[in-house]
Amino acid sequence: MRAWNLRLWLVICGIGLLATSCGSSSKGSSAAAGEEVFQQRCSACHTIGNGKLVGPDLAGVTTRHDVEWLNSWITDPAAFAKTDPAAGDLFTGAMPSLGLSPREVDSVIAYLDSNRDVAVGAPTDGPRELSAAEFDQASGIYFNRCAGCHGTLRAGATGPNIQPDTTREIGTAGIETILTNGLPGGMPAWGKSGILSADEIELMANFVQMDPPTPPPLDLAQIKDSWSLMVPVADRPTEPQTSRDWQNYFGVILRDAGQVAIIDGDSKEPVAILDTGFAVHILRSSATGRYFIAVGRDGRVTMIDLWTKTPQIVAQVQGCFDARSVEGSKYQGYEDKYIVEGCYWPPQYVVFDGQTLEPLVMRGILSPDVNGKELEEVRVASIVASHFDPTWVMGLKESGYVGIVDYSQPDFPLVEKIPADLYLHDGGWDHTGRYFLIAANARNKLEVIDVKTKQLVGEVETGDTPHPGRGANWEDPEYGWVFATTHLGEGKLTLVGADPVGHPEYAWKVVREVQIPGTGSLFLKTHPGSPWVWMDTPMSNVIEESHQVCVYSKEKMVLEKCFPIADHGRVVHFEYNRAGDEVWVSVWDKKGEIVIFDDATLTEKARITGDWLVTPTGKFNVYNTAHDVY
Ligand code: DHE
């Protein structure tokens, strides 16, 4: 037995429980256990003998590194890279700490060693030909599941570039592995979670190695053709026809049912379930709160009147083929006057009448990026409505500009383009409504825009892929006002100083970082009267973590606790009721639930269930959404 093998043997046999297999079998129980761990935790990025995936082929790795080295590397690659030069050379930031126990690490090494004689594999197998029907099917799946992160033309944004040059390097088998198991930085495990079948994964693995189809334009005439006004303004009530507190209604997205449920926040009863269309993404309230405006991934905008006895759809229109954001005009004198829709495709925004959704203007946003690089795709990401002047502020994702649209001017022009950083995604106001903080999430930063001076005033590195949603604002006992975000790529809540008047020394700097168990956080939420900040981790590939919520104490300045609230689905997104004493959380599943907590005691108060509650995701309280309470 060579020296290295002997050491490996000693390490593995030193673990009592595994000792029975030592010396008896070439692939004993520790290697068998290691195989299981490898399949679950490593095989998304590595093969043994089947070529490079995201990470290198690990065939023969135990002949290249000794057991102590591998142990340190697998346990915490980032920490090890700081102390070991070879590890430092190898570490690109992609290899995460997997949180394996020492026994699991040993078993993985034993498994790798049991494959020490396997030869490193050839990297790729090319794509097979797809029939026209298969190509169409794959285009549909790509649009539904992939385009949001990787872009319609696949140039990358929140997710990496996956154009054929890159995907062919990985090859069909490698892509299938990634699609099945996901990746630690937020790439969902489409196969393991049962969302894509094995056949669909095979189809997509081939499709993404081919050139993307060219998506068509959508002009104003076509947008006008899509407009339908179900209830003219003259036929609508002039005052609320319900005795319910409609300002405490919650609009709940039933994503895969293509519906929005309007739930009475007091009685918790569904008062209406409305067919809004394909994969609704978000709702926003008009400035008065009377109308909910829904936007679907297919670009359809739906206006819901909450003043009728039962809420009803009064108008619909399609301004884009692919969209994620919509907002109303909120400046004094312009309440409920206009609606803007931001498109993912085509690269444009569209302004509608705020009472009827009649299309008024469509304006293109394609431009070179902040570095002067020509682009073929620029998507409108987050949009907020200023309370200081008649403007909308929007993140122009690929170009890295924050655009300002002046809706007091006849043609709703983009009057400013403030250079920030690439891949702008989601964001919200600071507590004064003067500063807009938006994540350049692939750059691990929050960009801070002063909408009064129309300048970029801060750039803050917060962590791996910040995802603030609308963000959360509160007064920290030490640092004054802060704006916070969680992250998709690491388990961390980051507090950024947001008090340039009271605490200028901390403004737009990281002032606190709080570890939370689990990556894959999408949303956090608080309320001015609450002592807590609620956080989710729905995109964690560790099932238990996707079921939990975590709560941070503003006063104690520590993570109070994390606890599971379901044994199925993904627990996602928070919303407070109008009074700010209840928090609503979705269990995003075919058999969905909404769990309601008493915010003072953190105890469960009610659980809404029912066959109608299919895949609930975002929830929007009328009062809080109209007034930007977060
Ligand atoms: Fe969202 C907000 C884009 C996936 C639920 N999401 C946003 C915003 C953007 C965005 C740009 C900000 C809108 C604004 O403020 O005007 N979302 C995207 C994507 O590109 C992405 C990553 C991939 C995709 O294909 O769509 C994506 N989003 C999701 C989901 O998978 C979620 C969890 C469920 C779903 O709808 O499929 C989801 N996104 C939400 C919600 C908000 C949101 C609930 C609003 C948060 C808020 O509190 O305001």
Digit-coded pLDDT (tens) for 282-301: 999 999 999 999 999 999 99
Q: Which residue has the higher pLDDT, 181 or 321?
A: 321
CA distance 328 to 338: 6
Q: What is the pLDDT of residue 8?
A: 34
Q: Which of 68, 66, 75 is nearest to 104 (CA)?
A: 75
Tell me the best of 281, 295, 485 to mutate to test the pocket of ligand 1, counting ligand atoms within 8 Å of each CB and taking the most. 281
Q: What is the pLDDT of residue 124?
A: 58
Q: Which atom of ligand 1 is nearest to the CA of 469?
A: 46
CA distance 141 to 136: 9
Q: Which residue's CA is the closest to the ligand 1 atom numbered 34? A: 617
Supply 610's token pair: 């029912």
* Ligand 1 center to 323 CA (angstroms): 10
Question: What share of the chain in percent tops pLDDT 90?
Answer: 78
Given a cut of 80, whether residue 100 has pLDDT beyond it is yes
CA distance 106 to 71: 7
Tell me the best of 142, 196, 426 to mutate to test the pocket of ligand 1, counting ligand atoms within 8 Å of each CB and taking the most. 426
Tell me the best of 193, 280, 282 to mutate to test the pocket of ligand 1, counting ligand atoms within 8 Å of each CB and taking the most. 282
* Ligand 1 center to 111 CA (angstroms): 40
Is the bond preceding residue 85 a cis peptide, omega within 30 degrees?
Answer: no
49 confidence band (pLDDT: 50, 70, 90): confident
Supply 435's token pair: 């500063």
Q: Which atom of ligand 1 is nearest to the CA of 394?
A: 16
Q: What number of CA atoms fall less than 13 Å from residue 14's CA on the CB side?
A: 9
Given a cut of 90, whether residue 521 has pLDDT beyond it is yes
Q: What is the pLDDT of residue 486?
A: 98
93 confidence band (pLDDT: 50, 70, 90): low
Given a cut of 90, whether residue 251 has pLDDT beyond it is yes
Q: What is the pLDDT of residue 21?
A: 34
* Sheet-wide strand order for 291-296: 228-229, 312-318, 300-305, 291-296, 280-285
12 confidence band (pLDDT: 50, 70, 90): very low
Given a cut of 60, whether residue 465 has pLDDT beyond it is yes
25 confidence band (pLDDT: 50, 70, 90): very low
Q: Which atom of ligand 1 is nearest to the CA of 397?
A: 11
Q: What is the pLDDT of residue 364?
A: 97
* Ligand 1 center to 347 CA (angstroms): 18
Given a cut of 90, whether residue 424 has pLDDT beyond it is yes
Q: Which of 305, 302, 262, 263 is nearest to 280 (CA)?
A: 302
Given a cut of 90, whether residue 28 has pLDDT beyond it is no
- Mean per-residue pLDDT for 331-355? 98
* Ligand 1 center to 439 CA (angstroms): 13
Q: What is the pLDDT of residue 23?
A: 34
- State the average pLDDT for the chain: 92
Q: Which residue's CA is the closest to the ligand 1 atom numbered 12? A: 382
Given a cut of 70, whether residue 1 has pLDDT beyond it is no
**377 φ, ψ (degrees, to nearest 5):** -140, 125
* Ligand 1 center to 148 CA (angstroms): 9
Catalytically active residues are 146, 149-150, 187, 425, 467
Q: Which atom of ligand 1 is nearest to the CA of 428?
A: 15
Q: What is the pLDDT of residue 51?
A: 78
Contact residues of ligand 1, CB 6 A cut-off:
148-149, 158, 255, 281-282, 324-325, 381-383, 425-426, 469-470, 522, 572-573, 617-618
CA distance 322 to 347: 10
* Ligand 1 center to 282 CA (angstroms): 7
Q: Which residue's CA is the closest to the ligand 1 atom numbered 42? A: 282
Q: Which of 30-44, 446-460, 474-488 has the lowest mean pLDDT?
A: 30-44
Q: Which residue's CA is the closest to the ligand 1 atom numbered 16? A: 382
Q: Which of 101-105, 235-239, 248-252, 391-395 has the lowest mean pLDDT?
A: 101-105
Per-residue pLDDT of 315-335, as tens digits, reads 999 999 999 999 999 999 999
Q: What are the residues facing 558 on neighbouring strands?
A: 553
* Ligand 1 center to 561 CA (angstroms): 26
CA distance 51 to 567: 37
Q: Which atom of ligand 1 is nearest to the CA of 326?
A: 16
CA distance 70 to 524: 37
Q: Which residue's CA is the closest to the ligand 1 atom numbered 27? A: 148
Q: Which atom of ligand 1 is nearest to the CA of 297?
A: 26
